[in-house]
Structure 1
Amino acid sequence: MSPGLGLGLRRWSPADAGAVLAAFADPQMARQAAEPVATLSAARRWLAARAEQWDAGSSYAFAVVDGADAVLGNVAVGAVDPRHRTGWVSYWTGAAARGRGVASGGCRAVAAWAFEDAGLFRLELGHRVNNRPAPPGQEPEPVRRPGGRGQDGLPRLPRSGPGRGTCHS
């Protein structure tokens, strides 16, 4: 799966433990984890939890990688509710990848995957109030809802394609 900008999405693998540890070494990231990710074994547990959630169908996390397969960040669709076909988008980027379109590109790609491959109907994206905002000119693009409203009166959700932004519900 390719979000553009020479980026790709792939499932996390146990071999990514070093990249996860490096990402969570950043103070901005350290406070975001449910448990500290300060050792290689903690990074392995973080990866194992992502795999367990994927297998259970409750959350689908992807590594955002560059053309050399170096991990730049994470995008995920979690809190998946199969009955209502909804999910919650989350993301993070490593310090060196910030401001390069990694998060917005990854979110666009995971949204396309969620709608087209996972069969979801609605995605929600939240922001923590203690996160620093994106620098001017690097904010996420607004949602574009092509085609107006469906027969049920709800806005049609974006599908993949150029120029489509992250979905904020």
Structure 2
Amino acid sequence: MLHTTIELRQWRDDDTPAVLAAFQEPDMRAQAPWPVVTLRDAMGWIAAWSGVGHAFAVTLDGQVVGNVAVTDIDVHETGWVSYWTTPEARGRGVAAAATAQLARWAFRERGLFRLELGHRTNNPASCRVATKAGFRPEGIERAKLSHDGVRYDVERHARLATDRP
């Protein structure tokens, strides 16, 4: 059980060192739309969220340890959820708690009805995050993603505003 304070807040320019450090991890490099190898790249990553949805820094006792976001909001009041955490925050329930907080915010403050997310089927940790955050599995999208010439199946999950927490 997690005995620390997890909060979501807007990204700030002074978070660039934390973003840069996060994207130096091998498993994070493919999560950015471009290589994040300098502070300027990290600042660009933060700035790139403007106008594309709602992204929040995940803090654990005041330290940035991840990101949660809802993007691709459509006319059907549906949005796409994404999340990541730094290695030191993994396995502690941080991502699931932050994703659940994001869902509550999106339903209450943004007025969304449906939230969707997907994870590679070879990523059971991401599946656990989704499930613990209240997202139900809906099916497999075959060979949806391609990384370094390898195709990956994706399991889609969704959470509705009417689902029990």
Q: TM over 0.5: same fold?
A: yes
Distance 1:5 1:125, change over 3 A: farther
The residue aligned with 2:59 is 65
The residue aligned with 2:134 is 143
Q: 1:82-101 to 2 correspondence within 5 Å?
A: 83-101=75-93
Asked whether the equivalents of residues 99 and 138 of structure 1 are also in contact (C-alpha less than 8 Å), the reply is no
Q: CA deviation at 1:128?
A: 3.1
| Separation of aligned partners in 2, 1:111 and 1:32 | 21
User: Aligned partner of 2:163: which letter?
Assistant: P
Q: CA deviation at 1:84?
A: 1.0
Number of aligned pairs? 140
Q: 1:35-54 to 2 correspondence within 5 Å?
A: 35-50=34-49, 52-53=50-51
Select the residue among 74, 80, 87 that pairs with 2:67: 74
Q: Identity percentage over the alignment?
A: 49
Per-residue CA deviations over 1:53-109 (Å, capped at 9, x if unaligned) read: 2xxxx3100011012x2101000001111x211100100001111111111001100
Select the residue among 144, 162, 165 that pairs with 1:157: 162
The residue aligned with 1:133 is 124
The residue aligned with 1:120 is 112
User: Aligned partner of 2:63: which letter?
Assistant: A
User: In the alignment, is residue 12 of structure 1 matched against residue 11 of structure 2?
Assistant: yes
Q: CA deviation at 1:133?
A: 2.2
Q: TM-score, normalised by structure 1?
A: 0.74
Asked whether the equivalents of residues 144 and 158 of structure 1 are also in contact (C-alpha less than 8 Å), the reply is no
More strand by share: 2
| Separation of aligned partners in 1, 2:7 and 2:134 | 22
Distance 1:138 1:115, change over 3 A: closer
Where does structure 1 differ by over 6 angstroms across 4 or more consecutive aligned residues?
none
Q: CA deviation at 1:144?
A: 8.1
Distance 1:156 1:44, change over 3 A: closer
Matched residue SS, 1:157: coil
| Separation of aligned partners in 2, 1:117 and 1:139 | 21
Q: TM-score, normalised by structure 2?
A: 0.75
Distance 1:36 1:112, change over 3 A: same
Q: What are the ranges of 5 or more consecutive residues in structure 1 without an aligned counterpart? A: 146-154, 165-169
